[in-house]
């Protein structure tokens, strides 16, 4: 079947947006004349592809919505409904699979709605879950199963990334301290349990500095306290946490020699850009959500038996600590040979 007007719903987070890119690339190749629209939260829209991959981006501002009065929420909801109806979508693909995406799919005005295999919070009653041969494989393959269901052929894993030349220039204008070759460390993570201890980052940074490479810390404003702590423990580190936009951080990653972090959104930017990288995994499962499609990615998984527990809170939290700076440095050295 030929579709003319497709809505893709993937609202967050950064890593999930990156994981959806290969499916979008396949959609564009398979339906070159279709209009593709992406519905996303504003704070995660930086890496939604530009035209001609994605024709239009629609934002649902969750942060703004949660602060509204009940009357304002009702008005915002109906404005969104009217906007979606005006687009006359003939296919909705819910790659998010949660209650909020189900509501938006339901009010889209389109009766042809599908989603990926792990639809939760009732979203599977709104959009048809597509379970393909890769239902137990990496999330990127689970998403690709959805477009395979539409008759698309998947020949390769492709990440359509934005042109970041302006952002790279902006990074260089903000600081003259970034000199090649440099190593990017990202200390933050959305779950506390996914964070590598700042003391480990500081020790690793010191080892890399003594190896003759510059170390640059990157992350959002919420990571600034971590950046300050690490730089306090490892003088000589360049701290850009909270000082770049998301795309500027992408440009910083694009030009680095090696990228190192735990399981966090920027990791998947590095993987998509095929940068040499080392990732530390504890409570999450790299075979499901690790860096994918990159031959120069090394994942260090905690040796503890509780690895992959998927807990956001933990009463002992030894998994990430058990991955030592020496272990990471050993893998780093293999990347810079």
Sheet of 238-239: strands edge to edge?
Answer: 238-239, 214-217, 182-186, 258-262, 277-281, 297-301
Task: Label residue 179 left, alpha or beta by phi (over 0 means left) and psi (-120 to 50 means alpha).
Answer: beta
End-to-end CA distance of the chain: 50
**What interhelical angle do 14-30 and 139-149 show, nearest 10?**
30
Whether residue 48 contacts residue 15, with contact meaning beta carbons closer than 8 Å, is answered with no
The CATH topology of domain 5-149 is Rossmann fold (3.40.50)
Asked, colleague to colleague, whether 5-149 and 165-335 share their fold, the answer is: yes
- Give dist(CA 31, CA 25) in Å, integer: 10
Q: Is the Cβ–Cβ distance between 257 and 276 less than 8 Å?
A: yes
Distance CA 211, CA 198 (A): 20
The structural domains of the chain, with segments of one domain joined by +, span 5-149, 165-335
pTM, full prediction: 0.93
Is CATH 3.30.360.10 what the domain over 165-335 is classified as, yes or no? no
CB 226 within 8 A of CB 233: no
Nearest 5°: the CA angle 52, 53, 56 is: 80
**95 touches 23 (CB < 8 A):** yes
Instruction: Specify the pLDDT at position 176.
Output: 67
Task: Give me the tens of pLDDT residue by residue for the chain, a chain 337 residues long.
Answer: 789 999 999 999 999 999 999 999 999 999 999 999 999 999 999 999 999 999 999 999 999 999 999 999 999 999 999 999 999 999 999 999 999 999 999 999 999 999 999 999 999 999 999 999 999 999 999 999 999 999 999 999 999 999 999 999 999 887 766 777 999 999 999 888 999 999 999 999 999 999 999 999 999 999 999 999 999 999 999 999 999 999 999 999 999 999 999 999 999 999 999 999 999 999 899 999 999 988 899 999 998 888 888 887 887 778 889 999 999 999 999 998 7
User: What whole-number distance in Å separates Cα of residue 302 and Cα of residue 234?
Assistant: 24
């Amino acid at each position: 079947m030929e579709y003319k007007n497709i809505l893709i719903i993937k609202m967050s987070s950064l890593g999930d947006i990156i994981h959806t890119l290969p499916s979008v690339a396949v959609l564009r190749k398979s339906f070159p004349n279709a209009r593709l629209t992406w519905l996303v939260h504003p704070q995660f829209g930086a890496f939604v592809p530009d035209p001609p991959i994605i024709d239009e981006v629609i934002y649902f501002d969750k942060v703004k919505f949660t602060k509204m009065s009940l009357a304002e929420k009702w008005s915002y909801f109906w404005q969104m409904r009217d906007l979606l109806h005006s687009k006359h979508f003939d296919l909705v693909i819910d790659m998010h699979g949660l209650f909020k995406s189900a509501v938006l799919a339901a009010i889209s005005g389109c009766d042809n709605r599908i989603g990926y295999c792990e639809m939760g919070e009732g979203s599977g009653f709104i959009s048809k879950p597509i379970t393909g041969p890769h239902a137990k494989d990496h999330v990127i393959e689970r998403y690709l199963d959805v477009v395979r269901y539409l008759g698309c052929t998947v020949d390769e894993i492709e990440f359509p990334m934005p042109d970041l030349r302006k952002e790279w220039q902006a990074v260089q204008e903000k600081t003259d301290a970034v000199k090649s070759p440099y190593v990017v460390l990202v200390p933050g993570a959305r779950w506390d349990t996914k964070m590598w201890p700042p003391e480990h980052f500081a020790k690793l940074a010191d080892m890399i500095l003594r190896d003759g490479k510059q170390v640059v810390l990157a992350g959002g404003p919420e990571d600034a306290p971590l950046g300050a702590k690490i730089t306090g423990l490892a003088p000589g580190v360049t701290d850009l946490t909270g000082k770049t936009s998301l795309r500027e951080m992408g440009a910083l990653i694009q030009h680095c020699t090696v990228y190192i972090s735990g399981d966090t959104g920027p990791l998947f930017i590095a993987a998509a850009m095929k940068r040499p990288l080392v990732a530390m995994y504890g409570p999450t499962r790299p075979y499901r959500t690790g860096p994918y499609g990159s031959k120069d990615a090394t994942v260090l998984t905690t040796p503890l038996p509780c690895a992959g527990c998927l807990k956001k809170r933990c009463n002992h939290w030894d998994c990430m600590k058990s991955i030592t700076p020496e272990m990471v440095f050993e893998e780093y050295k293999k990347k810079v040979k």
